[in-house]
């Protein structure tokens, strides 16, 4: 079964629920932590505490565990700046599937080493001159392996959405309320679209780094627009998606999601607040939703849930951002 055939179905709420059950069988829920912002409590879904340090373990597990025995024997290929890579590598090791990951040569050392430690083969490319999609597709073709995209895949979307179902159950248990608003860190929109499917009644806001806010611009334009030429440098390596996909875009457009963007300084401030107020290490890309709340670009309501989506950052980079 090729990636094209797998991707031909539409992700569904039923699929999110099935993913959540599969994931609950192997991973304890990540904590939903309260944080007070100017007298209002918001709820932070600490996906940074997943074994691989990011929510990406969810979609990867849902996808790889649904492959047939024949497909599993032929291995998988993925491209990723690091967190999807680790999700695939972790799931592949647990299922004894061979995994090859195409990663940008400038990915954080922490992410590359962690992926290698999990037993995956790594192939690097130049983020600005080479196409990771093309390299990965060629490798998959050569090896008869299954290509597992990082967001443009119904299994991946459903798997990531399980984070929202889990958070909703936790919030219900602690406050008796359903999430009214989800504020979600966004690169290609796998997490955001999955969470939107999971909770049909919640308002959805996606958050991107300034200059990389193509998803927000696409939602405003009503059609997919790529990142503008020469985007600014960003510490949010996990969110440097140059072009999104109809699969995730259509879900979020139909839900009336809106997008906001945050500056590097706002992200660094959020990383400091996560450190001092929650005791959590966040990578820049995992802190953008918190940044949007802290700088007032999103207004908290009675039952706001945000994602703290990842923690994989080199110690030196982290030290420089929190001490600033």
| Binding interface with a second copy (CB under 8 A) | 28, 30-31, 33-34, 48-49, 51, 53, 110, 174, 272, 275-276, 278-282, 311, 315-316, 318-320, 322-323
Distance between CA 262 and CA 257 in Å, rounded? Answer: 17
- Residue placing its CB nearer to a second copy in the complex, 99 or 273: 273
| Start-end of H helices in 98-151 | 109-117, 132-143
Minimum Å distance from CB 282 to a second copy? 8
- Residue placing its CB nearer to a second copy in the complex, 217 or 237: 237
Minimum Å distance from CB 281 to a second copy? 5
Q: Which one-letter DSSP state was computed for residue 274? A: I
- Residue placing its CB nearer to a second copy in the complex, 142 or 316: 316
Distance between CA 12 and CA 89 in Å, rounded? Answer: 25
Minimum Å distance from CB 48 to a second copy? 5
- Residue placing its CB nearer to a second copy in the complex, 259 or 285: 285
Minimum Å distance from CB 125 to a second copy? 25
Q: How many CB atoms lie within 10 A of CB 85?
A: 30
Minimum Å distance from CB 179 to a second copy? 17
Q: Give residue for tokens 């539409």.
A: 10
Distance between CA 235 and CA 109 in Å, rounded? Answer: 14
Minimum Å distance from CB 250 to a second copy? 33
CA distances from 73 to 23, 94, 118, 165, 230 (A): 22, 13, 18, 32, 41
Residue 218 CA to its chain's centroid (Å): 18
- Residue placing its CB nearer to a second copy in the complex, 165 or 281: 281
Minimum Å distance from CB 121 to a second copy? 21
- Residue placing its CB nearer to a second copy in the complex, 147 or 168: 168
- Residue placing its CB nearer to a second copy in the complex, 42 or 282: 282
Question: What are the b/e assignments for 290-312, b being 16+ CB within 10 Å?
Answer: bbbbbbeebebeebbbbbbbbbb
In sequence order, the 6+-apart residues with CB closer than 8 A to the CB of 129 are none
Minimum Å distance from CB 310 to a second copy? 9
Would you state the structure tokens that stand for residue 131, as one six-digit string?
């196409």
Residue 145 CA to its chain's centroid (Å): 23
Which three-class secondary structure string do you get for 88-100? HHHHHHHHCCCEE
- Residue placing its CB nearer to a second copy in the complex, 76 or 168: 168
Distance between CA 92 and CA 99 in Å, rounded? Answer: 6
């Amino acid at each position: 079964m090729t990636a094209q055939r797998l991707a031909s179905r539409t992700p569904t709420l039923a699929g999110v629920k099935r993913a959540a059950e599969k994931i609950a069988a192997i991973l304890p829920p990540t904590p939903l932590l309260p944080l007070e912002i100017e007298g209002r409590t918001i709820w932070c879904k600490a996906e940074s505490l997943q074994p691989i340090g990011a929510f990406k373990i969810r979609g990867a597990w849902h996808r790889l565990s649904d492959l047939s025995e024949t497909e599993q024997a032929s291995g998988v290929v993925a491209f990723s700046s690091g967190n999807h890579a680790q999700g695939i590598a972790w799931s592949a090791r647990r299922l004894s599937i061979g995994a090859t990951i195409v990663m940008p040569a400038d990915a954080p050392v922490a992410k590359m080493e962690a992926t290698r430690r999990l037993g995956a083969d790594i192939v690097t490319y130049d983020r600005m001159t080479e196409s990771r999609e093309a390299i990965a597709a060629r490798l998959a073709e050569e090896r008869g392996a299954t290509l597992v995209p990082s967001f443009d895949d119904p299994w991946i979307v459903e798997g990531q959405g399980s984070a929202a179902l889990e958070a909703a159950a936790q919030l219900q248990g602690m406050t008796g309320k359903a999430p009214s608003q989800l504020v979600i860190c966004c690169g290609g929109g796998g997490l955001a679209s999955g969470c939107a499917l999971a909770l049909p009644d919640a308002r959805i806001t996606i958050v991107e780094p300034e200059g990389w806010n193509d998803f927000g611009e696409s939602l405003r334009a009503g059609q997919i627009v790529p990142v503008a030429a020469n985007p600014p440098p960003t510490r949010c390596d996990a969110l440097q998606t140059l072009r999104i996909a109809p699969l995730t875009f259509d879900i979020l457009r139909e839900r009336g999601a809106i997008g906001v963007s945050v500056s590097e300084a706002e992200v660094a401030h959020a990383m400091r607040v996560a450190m001092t107020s929650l005791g959590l290490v966040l990578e820049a890309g995992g802190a953008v939703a918190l940044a949007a709340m802290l700088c007032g670009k999103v207004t908290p309501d009675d039952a706001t849930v945000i994602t703290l989506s990842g923690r994989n950052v080199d110690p030196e980079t982290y030290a420089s951002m929190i001490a600033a």
